[in-house]
Amino acid sequence: MCGIIGMVSKDDFTIQDAFKKLKKLEYRGYDSFGYFDKELLIKKTGHILIPKTKKLTRMAILHSRWATHGGVTDKNAHPHQSCDRNITIVHNGIIENYAELKNSLQKKGHRFSSETDSEVVAHYFEEKVKKKTMKQACVDFIKEIKGTFAILVMKNDDDCIYALKRDSPLVIGPSKRSNILASDIYAFSDLTDKAVFFDNDEFAVVDSEKYTFYNELGKPIKKTVQRFRWEQEESLKKKFKHYMIKEIMEEPIVVKRLLFSLKTEQKDNFERLIRLIKKQEKIVFVAAGTSYHASLLGVYYLHKCGVEAQALIASEFENFAFLDEKSLVIPISQSGETMDLIEALKYAKEHKAKIASVVNVPYSTIQRMSDVSLNIMAGQEICVAATKSFVNQVTILLSIAKEFGFKVNLDTLPTRIESVLGQKNKIKKIAKSISKKNDMYVLGRGLSYPVAREVALKIKEISYIHAEGMMGGELKHGTIALIEKGTPVISLISNKDHDMLSNTKEVEARGAKIIMITNSMPGDIRLQTSNDGKFGILATIFGQLLTYYIALERKLPIDKPRNLAKSVTVK
């Protein structure tokens, strides 16, 4: 889940220029960061700090880390170097056989200074180039290394960067006087609209004028240069204290943009997806985290139209999915690079299933693996918490369901969202009243059950409060034993759901502090919709705002919560 940058230029650039590009990838990990340009090595823990120095260089590699192997320390920060300091590397992924390799290298006299799996890469190349060229060493590396990797290698006596890829994302942004390597196109989207994507078990030799790709046997291969256009919001916070609240407030705008695109530039792909759903006999959504909750709403909407579908967690997909050529797998992802989803799609392809993805990042791995793909058009999300991307995922799913008979007027959705945002002061008061609690529960039934899970997830990841989202009908099967006097319980009640009312009364009778979110009866927050499809979106936005204001009360690092990263590119 780390972010990597490599820059090779004919012209001088400053360290600050390089760090600004790395800053764009900080959402991929912010445990530590590092920089190397043959003269200067920087390795530090914490969020990326742009150096004040005006030092110039023409080649550099950089890294933003999300820790997997080894603690969050300066020594474990990337870049890592060989014993002779001739080889310097940055790595995103996991070297599965690193222990075996490390033991072998130590027997040959190599000394390790970190606890990471990544450091073995630097020593591996140091050992190989004693007898082979770097190109030959890259071929051996792909053959001998087990695991996932996007790796950039600098050799002090070379004027190029060696780049290798398996499963972890890697792309080149070529321009007239430079080449930039990065984990995704966002790092260089302000400089070029061209991109060359690595496929698995490929490596490239990149200098300031050219790049040459090779397959796993070391034979040159031709690659397609793709032009991209990425709709994104200006990432400056401007008047907002945090990116999270900025991105929540953008939701009416991004919904309008998405709905327009489905009628115009994405119309053909949207119609292709609808035809696939009609043609294939089995529909299986696959996702993780927030996107999984969106997919559960998609299943609910389709079931209401008589279309059978199921949603599976990506990490358990192979254990529960039965697929064949008559199956349609629909992955939903913000980043388009989630490793568990990529593995699920490999499994789907092995079983000849069709793939129709819903993603936010164009040209991402998941989009490129798909037979057809829809872009959710949410723009760049800086905050780790998915907010506007979730809203647009569900808007696409509602649009699909509408084609199968689900009755909903999506044209009014942006104004309905604005009505929730207009209640932020009421939500702020609710947040303050429960901000010191350490446990809370969110109850839902039917459509509001996935929402309950999503709201609870947001509270956990951003507010650091134990929160459980659950089916109201399962309350009596154990969880009600945890309800004490004053325990906050958020009850999501759509269209006078009498069963949900009964569940609410059950916890209220045991002293719970009830917070009712409704659309057709008195409640703490009233949502302006009579349609349960839109209720699912609007109730989630309430949860996003509640989470934000709780975290604000608790003085937490809202945009960059501990231990989390935006893009989960490891298993």
Q: Indicate the DSSP class of residue 31.
A: S
End-to-end CA distance of the chain: 10
- List the catalytic residue out of 2, 138, 160, 383: 2
**Residue partners of 564: CB distance under 8 A and separation at least 6:** 384, 461
Q: How far apart are CA 366 and CA 356, in angstroms?
A: 10
Q: How far apart are CA 136 and CA 214, in angstroms?
A: 11
Q: How far apart are CA 409 and CA 7, in angstroms?
A: 48
Q: How far apart are CA 17 and CA 28, in angstroms?
A: 19
CA 49 to chain centre: 23
- List the catalytic residue out of 138, 263, 566, 571: 566
Q: How far apart are CA 107 and CA 52, in angstroms?
A: 42
Q: How far apart are CA 524 and CA 157, in angstroms?
A: 67
CA distances 483 to 471, 502, 506, 514, 517, Å, are 15, 16, 10, 11, 19
Q: How far apart are CA 314 and CA 294, in angstroms?
A: 13
Establish whether the linkage from the previous residue to 79 is cis, with ω within 30° of 0. Answer: yes
Is 2 among the catalytic positions? yes
Q: How far apart are CA 102 and CA 119, in angstroms?
A: 9
Q: How far apart are CA 299 and CA 406, in angstroms?
A: 12
φ/ψ region of 323 (left if φ > 0, alpha if ψ in -120 to 50, else beta) reads beta
Burial of 532 per CB tally in 10 Å (0-12, 13-18, 19+): buried
Q: How far apart are CA 8 and CA 178, in angstroms?
A: 6
* Residues labelled catalytic: 2, 566
